[in-house]
Amino acid sequence: MIIRAKAPVRISLAGGGTDVSPYIEEKGGIVINVTINKYAYVTLVPRDDKKVKIKSLDYKNGFEMEIGDETVYDGNLDLVKAAIKVLNIKHGFELLLHSDAAPGTGLGSSSTMVTAVIGTFDRWLHLGLNHYELAELAYKIEREEAGIKGGKQDQFATVFGGINYIEFHADRTVVNQLRIRPEVLDELEYRLILCDTKRSRVSANVIAEQVKGYTDGNKDVVRALDATRELAIRMREAFVMGKIDKIGQLLNEGWQLKKKFSSKITDPEIDNIYELGRSNGAIGGKLLGAGGGGYILFLCERDKEGMMEEKLRDHITPFSFESRGLHTWKVDE
């Protein structure tokens, strides 16, 4: 028996940064995101012994261990180790990991991978996890057990899939799947351009500075986070009403707010790419993820797509929306 999982990465459109503790517990966060056709893949093959073999095709590395061995976090596929520990796996198995999106690109790929790993365990061991339980478990494994700082939206985005308006509260998370007219989605997808800055970043460093600014009561950071939360509410209205140009304007507004979260969000090189897009037909855009590198998302004016693609051709990554979230299947040998 072979079990596979496929989970999509996400693009954060509004509210990113308000899904990070302690803002969630004190004020409640709101985000809007959409999953796209870039995926994390996991293949699990059960074994008859207690041996565990993990291999990553992307990093060309892996590790082996025995069930019951002490968990050592040393930077080598620590999220998989954390999942094995938290789920208290008792049987041997082999895992093969592969992702279309590298970590540090702002697409939530690390969270997507750990979620896909949990998905294979859920299918194999008949754990019966629902969407909310699986996303919460992924958050616990990544943020609490493995100690990787970050927000909470990535895990819920990849599990549910599609375009989601997600509310984060101290005691619960509520995922509202937005029902947008098909023609609005088609036009939005056509006018969105994803640009690779060709630089990865360690999101935990950016998040740590943001959290410190908030907990220290830095007025600029607090106000920017509060305004970002309100912007997500306005973005939802623009989606429902089909106001695509307004979505672009809100993306730009959100980017200006995001730069106040931390001094590590942007730099002259990132600003130059953003201004290049803005001067060649982009209504607005934003750097995805925590900041410091990764992808920039632009929404361009009607009939300006060709101009932007010409000016940014060395940076553009084609994509389309993905309506399905995490899913698993079994292959009988």
Please indicate whether residue 154 is annotated as part of the active site: yes
Q: Which residues contact 183 (CB under 8 A, 6 or more apart)?
A: 242
Nearest one of 236, 173, 193, 238 to 11, comparing CA atoms: 193
Chain centroid to CA 157: how far?
7
Question: How open is the CA angle 302-306-307, to the nearest 5 degrees?
Answer: 90
Cβ-based burial of 164 (10 A; exposed 0-12, middle 13-18, buried ≥19): buried
Distance CA 287, CA 92 (A): 41
Distance CA 54, CA 64 (A): 6
Active-site option among 154, 171, 216, 303 = 154
Distance CA 36, CA 107 (A): 9
Phi then psi for residue 308, to 5 deg, are -65, -40
- Amino acid code (one letter) for 192: L
Q: Which residues are catalytic?
A: 154
